[in-house]
Amino acid sequence: MMAAPMTALLRARLAGACSGVRRWRHTEQARKETHFGFQTVSEEEKGERVYQVFENVARKYDLMNDSMSLGVHRLWKDWLIQYMNPTPGTKLLDVAGGTGDIAFRFVNYIRAQKEKMIRHKLKYQQNLSWSEISRAYQQEEQGSLGGSRAVICDINKEMLKVGKQKSLTLGYSEGLSWVAGNAEELPFDDDKFDVYTIAFGIRNVTHIDQALQEAYRVLKPGGRFLCLEFSQVNNPLLARAYDLYSFQVIPVLGEIIAGDWKSYQYLVESIRRFPPQVKHFCNTSQQFGLL
């Protein structure tokens, strides 16, 4: 007769113990400190504040990128895709991919590769009629990405929302998936992707080592990790000019264009805080076999 009450008591104590462990972990996370720009905050607070920054700037994110970099960010991203040189069939994971800039370029590149393949194929097929040529193009266009796929993963749902709308506006209906996920705990199986990219996002991650470990986990053997990020300007004169522009102009642009000074002040500070970590970042990347 005592078995049922005893079982209930044990369950209650176990539930209490588990709750206590969760509270302890939550407290430990809150105690650990990291940086948010030039401020020192708890790890938990950094995650929340970074999320809020990108939620605030999502609608004007692309416009601000053009304004802050005078359009140069487009060249950097073009270079990244050229360096990647993906082929039809490539599976790409773009983390912190937000509004889809890398993924759209990836799709364009694959389409161009397929177009070259069609032209090369038709070049050696003589005496084809226009209808036969047209039919050949139509057949190839049905699978214009050749099995390639880009998964855009971002922790911020507002950024993904803007990216999805942008893809519809620009006519990217094939080969894209949008997934809400944390770089430190990716919602994907092991050995799934050929290429992992993260452009201007790694400095916003609280635990960079965990993000790198996750990148290694989801990449196929022989897969590639490509990171695009800001670093230090070594020339003293250029460094002074860069600092002046970063701290005196970019936050003002943020206020004028996006109505948000603080978010762009953080972004400038986060760039300035990241360079001292570059050596550590490269060393950590090597530990996980990513360099």
Domain count, the chain: 1
CB atoms within 10 A of CB 132: 12
143 within some domain: yes
Judge whether 205 and 36 are in contact, CB under 8 Å: no
Do the bridges between strand 33-36 and strand 39-42 make them parallel or antiparallel, or are there none, so unpaired? Answer: antiparallel
1 within some domain: no
What tokens appear for 20 in the block? 């206590």
pLDDT digits (tens, 9 = 90+) for 60-99: 999 999 999 999 999 999 999 999 999 999 999 999 998 9
108 within some domain: yes
**Which range marks the domain in which residue 187 is found?**
71-231+274-287
104 within some domain: yes
Residues 280 and 291: their CA atoms lie apart, in Å, by: 13
Helix and strand numbers, DSSP H then E, in the chain: 12, 7
Helix (H) or strand (E) run with residue 215 in it: helix 208-218
How much of the chain exceeds pLDDT 90, in percent?
65
Residues 238 and 248: their CA atoms lie apart, in Å, by: 15
99 within some domain: yes
CB atoms within 10 A of CB 12: 10
Check the annotation: does 183 bind a ligand: yes
Mean pLDDT of the chain: 84
Enter the pTM of the model.
0.80
Check whether 229 has a pLDDT greater than 80.
yes
The packing angle between helices 157-170 and 61-69, to 10°, is 80
Determine the average pLDDT of the residues in 203-218.
95
What tokens appear for 42 in the block? 């708890």
243 within some domain: no
Check whether 34 has a pLDDT greater than 60.
yes
236 within some domain: no
Q: Could you tell me which residue, 57 or 289, shows the higher pLDDT? A: 57
Check whether 1 has a pLDDT greater than 90.
no
23 within some domain: no
Residues 288 and 286: their CA atoms lie apart, in Å, by: 5
Check whether 157 has a pLDDT greater than 70.
yes
The reported pLDDT for the residue numbered 204 is: 95
What tokens appear for 204 in the block? 């916003």
Check the annotation: does 150 bind a ligand: no
The reported pLDDT for the residue numbered 35 is: 86
Which domain CATH number covers 89?
3.40.50.150
Residues 6+ apart with CB under 8 A from 200: 73, 96, 228, 229, 230
Check the annotation: does 101 bind a ligand: no
- Which residues is 153 bridged to in the sheet? 95, 179
Check whether 12 has a pLDDT greater than 60.
no
Residue keyed to tokens 């360096």:
83
